[in-house]
């Protein structure tokens, strides 16, 4: 029996709502974060998706590679000269590879959000100990750490923003009010993420039979996101001991950070609850909740759900933060940052 051809769910012309504020390149759009970034730009009312690039999947339509994103454009090899006029770029390359492209984009005057780790650490020596040689150390001083809840004004004036890692995003948002109040004596951060956090090329460790019905710690000798967390908490005034242990969840996406803090002084539960409520009341993407948050609560959103409680018997505060690691932990936060950099409403395209 013959079947009618399937109809395309999305028109080939991007559905912009008004004159675009910027023509945007998404470099590395075949990875999980890059594909979502391209999808968010495509659906954004004021950003024009000028090109989405991939080396390994060039020539493939993005809606064939990721049907759920419904982006009907063909991935291309990166060719800046052939891309036409560009105003901004989201770079979703692996760390160690992104820096040289970011340098070329900045030389051409583009506004850049780098989703890799290449510009997150301010100190070159710390970067080199963590990741190896740096491809564009001359840009480190220019890069602004892209956690809007901490650095909104600097992001709005920046031309290069380093998008935070997923674990640091959740951990720092969970702990920032305590750090700012000088309440952290020491902290233990136990965080768990879905397998998409490792990218498309995760290897045998992320094979279905190893992940399904399993729960494992990794990076116990020192995870590369630890220096990032230490850096941001230190800028908030917290320099005490900090232990960070990541875990792998048998989920495709989602991240929960559970933080156990020995307090520097005695506080009441009402005081810490008020601290969190006041700190995050103006934040469009941080929700302070009374019950422990779960990753399903925030899936496919740019929200971070935070909860604070006290364990009086141990003299500790318990802080939890749940995010979608591909949204607030990567592509969604990149759009939030780009909105700020372009003078657009921070929440635009993320509702």
Q: What is the pLDDT of residues 267-279, one digit of tens each?
A: 999 999 999 999 9
Q: Predicted confidence band at 30 (pLDDT cuts at 50, 70, 90)?
A: very high
Is it the case that residue 3 has pLDDT exceeding 50? no
Report the pLDDT value the prediction gives residue 127, as an integer from 0 to 100.
96
CA distance 44 to 39: 9
Q: What is the mean pLDDT of the chain?
A: 93
Express as a percent the part of the chain with pLDDT over 90: 86
Q: Predicted confidence band at 117 (pLDDT cuts at 50, 70, 90)?
A: very high
Is it the case that residue 1 has pLDDT exceeding 50? no
What is the end-to-end Cα distance of the chain in Å, rounded?
Answer: 42
> Is 166-325 the same fold as 22-163+330-341?
no
Region 55-79 average pLDDT: 95
Q: Which of 7-21, 31-45, 77-91, 136-150 has the lowest mean pLDDT?
A: 7-21
Three-state DSSP state, 256: strand
CA distance 60 to 30: 9
Residues near 150 by beta carbon (within 8 Å), at least 6 away in sequence: 172, 176, 232, 235, 236
Query: How does pLDDT run across 217-264, given as a tens digit for each residue?
Result: 998 888 999 999 999 999 999 999 999 999 999 999 999 999 999 999
Q: Predicted confidence band at 5 (pLDDT cuts at 50, 70, 90)?
A: very low
CA distance 243 to 220: 10
If we measure between CA atoms, which residue out of 280, 285, 295, 304 comes closest to residue 348?
A: 285
Q: Is 166 a catalytic residue?
A: yes
Query: How does pLDDT run across 92-109, given as a tens digit for each residue?
Result: 999 999 999 999 999 999
Sheet-wide strand order for 111-114: 47-53, 22-27, 88-91, 111-114, 160-162, 144-145
If we measure between CA atoms, which residue out of 231, 264, 243 comes closest to residue 120?
A: 231
Residues near 216 by beta carbon (within 8 Å), at least 6 away in sequence: 247, 248
What secondary structure letter does DSSP report for 272? H
Sheet-wide strand order for 304-311: 216-217, 242-248, 184-193, 255-263, 316-323, 304-311, 286-288
CA distance 118 to 102: 9
Report the pLDDT value the prediction gives residue 220, as an integer from 0 to 100.
85
CATH architecture of the domain with residue range 166-325: 2-Layer Sandwich (3.30)
Catalytic residue among 90, 144, 166, 242: 166
**pTM of the complete model:** 0.93
Report the pLDDT value the prediction gives residue 196, as an integer from 0 to 100.
81
Query: How does pLDDT run across 184-205, given as a tens digit for each residue?
Result: 999 999 999 998 866 655 555 5
Strand runs labelled E in the chain:
22-27, 47-53, 88-91, 111-114, 144-145, 160-162, 184-193, 216-217, 242-248, 255-263, 286-288, 304-311, 316-323
- Enumerate the domain spans of the chain: 22-163+330-341, 166-325
Class of domain 22-163+330-341: alpha beta
Query: How does pLDDT run across 319-347, given as a tens digit for each residue?
Result: 999 999 999 999 999 999 999 999 999 99
Is it the case that residue 11 has pLDDT exceeding 80? no
Token reading at 108: 């051409």
């Amino acid at each position: 029996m013959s079947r009618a051809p399937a109809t395309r769910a999305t028109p080939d012309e991007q559905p912009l709502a008004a004159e675009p504020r910027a023509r945007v390149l998404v470099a590395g759009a075949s990875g999980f974060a890059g594909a979502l970034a391209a999808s968010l730009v495509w659906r954004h009312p004021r950003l024009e998706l000028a090109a989405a690039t991939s080396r390994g999947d060039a020539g493939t339509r993005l809606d064939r590679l990721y049907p759920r994103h419904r982006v009907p454009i063909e991935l291309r090899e990166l060719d800046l000269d052939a891309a036409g006029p560009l105003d901004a770029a989201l770079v979703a390359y692996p760390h160690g590879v992104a820096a040289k492209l970011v340098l070329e984009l900045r030389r051409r005057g583009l506004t850049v959000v780098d989703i890799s780790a290449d510009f997150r650490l301010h100190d070159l020596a710390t970067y080199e100990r963590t990741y190896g040689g740096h491809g564009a150390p001359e840009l480190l001083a220019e890069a602004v750490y892209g956690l809007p809840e901490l650095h909104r004004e600097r992001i709005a004036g920046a031309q290069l923003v380093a998008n935070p890692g997923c674990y640091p995003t959740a951990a720092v948002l969970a702990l920032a009010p305590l750090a700012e109040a000088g309440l952290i004596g020491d902290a233990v951060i136990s965080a768990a993420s879905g397998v998409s956090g490792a990218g498309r090329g995760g290897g045998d460790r992320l094979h279905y039979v190893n992940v399904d019905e399993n729960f494992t710690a990794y990076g116990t000798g020192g995870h590369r996101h630890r220096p990032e967390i230490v850096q941001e908490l230190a800028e908030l005034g917290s320099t005490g001991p900090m232990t960070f242990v990541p875990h792998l969840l048998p989920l495709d996406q989602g991240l929960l950070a559970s933080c156990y803090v020995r307090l520097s002084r005695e506080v009441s539960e009402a005081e810490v609850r008020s601290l969190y409520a006041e700190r995050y009341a103006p934040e469009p993407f941080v929700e302070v909740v009374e019950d422990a948050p779960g990753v399903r609560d925030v899936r496919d959103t740019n929200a971070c759900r935070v909860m604070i409680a006290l364990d009086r018997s141990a003299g500790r505060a318990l802080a939890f933060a749940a995010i979608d690691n591909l949204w607030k932990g990567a592509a969604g936060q990149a759009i939030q940052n780009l909105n700020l950099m372009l003078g657009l409403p921070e929440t635009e395209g993320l509702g």
